[in-house]
Structure 1
Amino acid sequence: MKNSGKDQVIAYIGLGSNLENPAEQIQSAHAAIAGLAGVEELAFSSLYHSSPMGPQDQPDYVNAVMAITTVLSAMDLLRNLQRIEHEHGRVRKGERWGARTLDLDLLVYGQQQIDLPELTVPHVGIAERAFVLYPLYEIAKELLVPGKGHIAELVKNCPLNGLKRLA
């Protein structure tokens, strides 16, 4: 990313899918995020297999976490992530924790704490979700999650709940 004179922020994005070939959805979204103007990829975790949150009558998930540096504001980044979800067939029906082709969550944005109707950062539930914490820890072992604590402590206090790293 060329230095545009704007401050760069390190951000972490959670990726999840449980429909229409989830691993391919994750890899396609990975490429789409890396290709965004104003974004440079720093790291990408392994893929992980997890049971669904909420309704259990849906397929298991594939999850990953991506680290980027960006000059985009948190809201501009969120809008880009939502556009990528839409391009991957994501339909928002207001149903929480339902099956989806793609779910992209802005997990951490620098050391900012954001509490807006459309965006909460760090992501709500980040400290209790193995499918977020373990891939995040894999690529950011020294991360201090704003208002939550050190990633190593969060992982230590979060059971795997059946989470498995895929080969």
Structure 2
Amino acid sequence: MERLNKFTKCLSGIAENALILQLRLHVSGGDGNDTLNGYNGNDALYGGAGTDILNGGIGDDSLYGGADDDQLFGGAGNDWLTGDAGNDYAEGGAGNDVFVGVAGNDTLFGQAGDDQFFGTQVQTRWMVAREVTAFGEEQATISINTMARATTTSMTV
């Protein structure tokens, strides 16, 4: 298994010459089974071929699993999670996340936030999981659009 963690870069300066920048990590895995970990930035992680585990960490991350059965964990922030081919598992964490299930039987798990779920017509099946732990004054609405039948099904909890 290949393993890569985000490195830390320390910057310093005096008040009048302070340098402030935000680093974004772009990492691509190889053909093996990779574990890629982001940290506190807005990271882009690409798993490639193999059964990969991608951890975005804190920040607005973009995670792309690639071929095979991948696990994607967005963490806190507004993340974009795409599994690609294979039976993938994607979990967003806190934030307004976007999930894209492509080919395969994917499990897409949205947590706190206003999450969006998309699938493609080549999929045989995909499951959207949403855990509701409390009911308040607001409604939780799940809309499922089946393009092949041109019908829309909505469920309000």
Q: TM-score w.r.t. structure 2 length?
A: 0.27
Structure whose residues are more often strand by fraction:
2
Larger relative contact order (C-alpha < 8 A, sep ≥ 6)? 1
Structure whose residues are more often helix by fraction:
1
Q: Based on CA coordinates, which of the two structures has the bigger radius of gyration? A: 2
